[in-house]
Structure 1
Amino acid sequence: MTASALRRLAPSTPEDKTPDLILHHGSDPIPEYNNPDLIPGMYPTLYPFKIGSFEDASCPSPLSFEAQARYYLDLGDKVFRHHFSYIFVVLNMLQRRKSHLQTHFTVQTARFRRVADTLTSLDSHTIADAAEIIEAEKSTKSLTSEQKRALDLLRYVNTVVQKVPGSYAAKISAHADIRNYFSYFGLPHLFFTFNPSAVHSPIFQVMYGDKSVNLSDRYPKLPPSSERARRLAQDPVAAADFFEFSVNMLFDERLGGRLPPHKEQHHRHSSHPGSSRTKRFLLEVAAILQCRCFAKQR
């Protein structure tokens, strides 16, 4: 296969002007929703037979995009989780879908009618032109009356995207949840930070697939630190599994209670593995420690 690829790079004759690589393009964008051919077309090495695509109407059991992506990351064949761009592209698509469905605007009641009329009267080209002028840091004196109306919307309209994973609003929402716990239970007297290191853990090496690590030994023999760091970078899904396992064991074996179920799913393909689990952990530990402090005082 390599020899065939090299032969194709060289022209058959000196007069041959055929390009080495041809990229087909068109004016119509490829639809992202309900397009079973999108992901297999982007990753032909992961789907050599174009079987198992997303949102396939011929599938007897409907499966959501997010659930199917999570299933591929949990397969015994680690070709999906070890791919250098598959996780990031799928995460980007999930974030866009969340932003399409979960983004909404907030405005003061007194200005609602005025803002609604202005928003419906402006076209997309006017808003895009105003955005380009602001992005280029040009003077706003050259704006037309319609563009100035579009610019005024920024002062009265707020965008809420707190349900989009990884967004700034989602982090602010997590901080607000933690502060609410403090308001209800009071400020805790003891803070505990739990940060298990996957690089130095023999459990992570086993989750990665290293069968030479014996967990029965008191001090299991681990590969060199450079190899452990490479494994962590290659398999972030195993790192997320290790983090979730560590948190569950902390509650089961040290705090004497299982972590309660939560309606939010743990997104293993996030840029920070276990971010939602981290938020839950901080909230629960703060509540447990505060309750124990109150019990001792009584």
Structure 2
Amino acid sequence: MLPPPVEDLDDVLAILFTGPCKPTEEEFKRSPVLVRRHAIRAALEWLILNHSDYADVKISAKNLAEYPETSPIVSVVYRERGSDKISEATSIHDTGEGDGVESGECPFVVHGLTGEQMGTNTVEALKGMAMEHWNSGGMALRVGQHNKMESIYNNPDLYPQMFPWLFPYGLGGVGSTSLSDDLHKKHLLMYHDKRFQTDLAFPFAAFSHRQIKAAATGGYLAVDSKNFDDITDRLLSVNQDVLGDIAKRMAQGEVVKPVTEDEKACFQVIRDLDHVGGKVDGSVSSKKYMRNEIWSLVANQGAPSWYITLSPSDMSHPICLYFADEKETFQPLIRGYDERFRLIAKNPVAAARFFDFMVKLFIKHVLGFGTDHAGIYGETSAYYGTVEQQGRLTLHLHLLLWIRNGLTPEEARKAIMDPDSPFQQQLVRYLEAAHQGEFCTGSMDDVDAALTVAAEDPTYQNPTLTLPEAPPEKCTDSCKSCERCEIWIPGGLGLGSL
């Protein structure tokens, strides 16, 4: 019977508002979780006729009449917050004003919630807190809806049943073709009408299932036939008192080293868990494995030469906006701020595609990796990059770069300490030019005042919203004497020298 009674929804869903003040009735009307009863009925009637899994569904007019149309259907929780920005990630000149649109529909973003201590404690401390919580009888949250669990393996009906609005005929679910699960999900995310990209839950569910399968595979590999007896014996014979003591000490931030045989057995259990978690993207163990890979590169290549942070301008770039838009023909147009913000906020897949595109170009052309020319930092011998989400679901890159035949830390130290070294003088000039909290043309106030004056000119164009001019065409005759040839001659004063 659908839809379910309205009181049942409070058990599985709640809405959290954050901001400087409580939401008003007008803001409730912009909420993306309002119910239009006639649309719900029309959708159910269509699914009953066309979707095989809805053939035996009955529509409850009584339940449908209980759904309000002007306010959220579930509990609303408010938490006061001055800004939607992370203070550690803002620049010195950031005004602190929240990102968002001033009018129109409100972009709705789903975030995972973690405790504040997640960012301040070490991995070992978090494991200790988790063990202490579990061994002391702490509770865990489990969300279930049916007495029979649905399998995520070889179940082509799973996604059509979860997302009937994406699979309206109940066909085309993951596993229904010869494609692998990852390729099928990528195919769906690249579907021409982009409904899978802009759906709030599909990318989240697809990635979560991938993590579950990776954890199951890691567990299977860890307890294969030759290791099964050893692991089961460890789990059954581990000293709970010693485990509790280790958990308590780790939770307090103490660096614990195993000494006794019981402590060594407890740490082996932790290593077994790391082996499983290391296969799961985004897990704490996978991050630890990444750190180990970086240390291996340091041991092989020496200290890195550069630490680079790259944050492509997704909200202003025409390519990213094209990825996010539903238009089939690319048109290099600069949109208004609200339109750009709304397009990117509704389609994090487009922002991820653009980020991947820009990072590959950066590695190839700027770092010179895999090409026949050196990068702008020198000849690249190795690099290691990690990707981080920056609050609005778009991405930025942190990268360590090793330069071939670069100075070692000891060589750099000697060159810096030598007062007559040209290296010291050049480095000081570079640092004074690059490491400053102001613009090259003056203070923040000076630049802001100059911008205000320039904007009064009717012909002024914002450089961040202006497309570059197309390069001139090459001379078809290669006469080497015309104006076009002078621009394109390599080593000249034109494009050939860039």
Check if 1:250 corresponds to 2:349.
no
Deviations 1:113-166 (A, max 9, x none): 7764354689xxxx9xxx9xx9xxxxxxxxxxxxxxxxx975541212112011
Query: What are structure 1's unaligned runs of at least 5 residues?
Result: 12-16, 107-111, 135-151, 260-266
Please name the residue that 2:334 is paired with.
221
Cα pair distance change 1:30/1:20, threshold 3 Å: farther
Higher helix content, 1 or 2: 1
Percent identity between the two aligned chains: 25
Cα pair distance change 1:64/1:243, threshold 3 Å: same
Q: How much does 1:88 deviate? A: 0.6
Check if 1:46 corresponds to 2:159.
no
Check if 1:162 corresponds to 2:278.
yes
Q: How much does 1:20 deviate? A: 7.1
**SS at the partner of 1:242?**
helix
Q: Aligned AA for 2:167?
A: Y
**SS at the partner of 2:310?**
coil
Q: Aligned AA for 2:210?
A: L
Q: Distance in 2 between matches of 1:76 and 1:42?
A: 21
Cα pair distance change 1:207/1:258, threshold 3 Å: farther
Q: How do residues 108-123 of structure 1 correspond to structure 2 at under 5 angstroms?
A: 116-117=232-233, 119=235
Q: Distance in 2 between matches of 1:45 and 1:252?
A: 41
Q: Distance in 1 between matches of 2:154 and 2:162?
A: 15
Please name the residue that 1:3 is paired with.
38
Check if 1:77 corresponds to 2:193.
yes
Please name the residue that 2:480 is paired with.
none
Q: How much does 1:255 deviate? A: 2.8
**SS at the partner of 2:194?**
coil
CA contact (8 A) 1:251 1:257 kept: yes
Number of aligned pairs? 234
Q: TM-score, normalised by structure 2?
A: 0.40
Please name the residue that 2:149 is paired with.
29
Q: Aligned AA for 1:222?
A: R
Q: How much does 1:244 deviate? A: 1.1
Please name the residue that 1:138 is paired with.
none
CA contact (8 A) 1:115 1:156 kept: no
Cα pair distance change 1:187/1:36, threshold 3 Å: same
Deviations 1:166-194 (A, max 9, x none): 10111111122222222222113333222
Q: Distance in 1 between matches of 2:60 and 2:354?
A: 44
Query: What are structure 2's unaligned runs of at least 5 residues?
Result: 1-35, 43-58, 68-144, 248-263, 372-386, 413-498
Higher mean C-alpha displacement, 167-176 vs 245-254 = 245-254
Cα pair distance change 1:179/1:156, threshold 3 Å: closer
**SS at the partner of 2:406?**
helix
**RMSD over aligned Cα atoms:** 4.4
Q: TM-score, normalised by structure 1?
A: 0.63
Cα pair distance change 1:9/1:30, threshold 3 Å: closer
Cα pair distance change 1:190/1:18, threshold 3 Å: closer
Cα pair distance change 1:243/1:86, threshold 3 Å: same
Check if 1:291 corresponds to 2:434.
no
Q: How much does 1:9 deviate? A: 6.8
Q: Which of 297, 315, 324 is the aligned partner of 1:208?
A: 324
Larger radius of gyration: 2
Cα pair distance change 1:256/1:186, threshold 3 Å: same
Q: Aligned AA for 1:168?
A: V
Q: Distance in 2 between matches of 1:78 and 1:194?
A: 27
Deviations 1:7-35 (A, max 9, x none): 97754xxxxx99979xxx65322222211
CA contact (8 A) 1:9 1:20 kept: no
CA contact (8 A) 2:324 2:347 kept: yes
CA contact (8 A) 2:156 2:174 kept: yes
Q: Distance in 1 between matches of 2:184 and 2:216?
A: 20
Q: Distance in 2 between matches of 1:44 and 1:70?
A: 19
Q: How much does 1:206 deviate? A: 2.0
CA contact (8 A) 1:244 1:274 kept: no
Check if 1:100 corresponds to 2:100.
no
Higher strand content, 1 or 2: 2
Q: Distance in 2 between matches of 1:184 and 1:82?
A: 43
Please name the residue that 2:205 is paired with.
89
Q: Aligned AA for 2:345?
A: A
Please name the residue that 1:65 is paired with.
181
Q: Distance in 2 between matches of 1:177 and 1:213?
A: 40
Q: Distance in 2 between matches of 1:101 and 1:31?
A: 15
Q: Which structure exhibits the higher relative contact order, with contacts defined as CA atoms closer than 8 Å and separated by 6 or more residues?
A: 1
CA contact (8 A) 1:46 1:79 kept: yes
CA contact (8 A) 2:316 2:334 kept: no
Q: Distance in 2 between matches of 1:26 and 1:249?
A: 48
Cα pair distance change 1:178/1:118, threshold 3 Å: closer
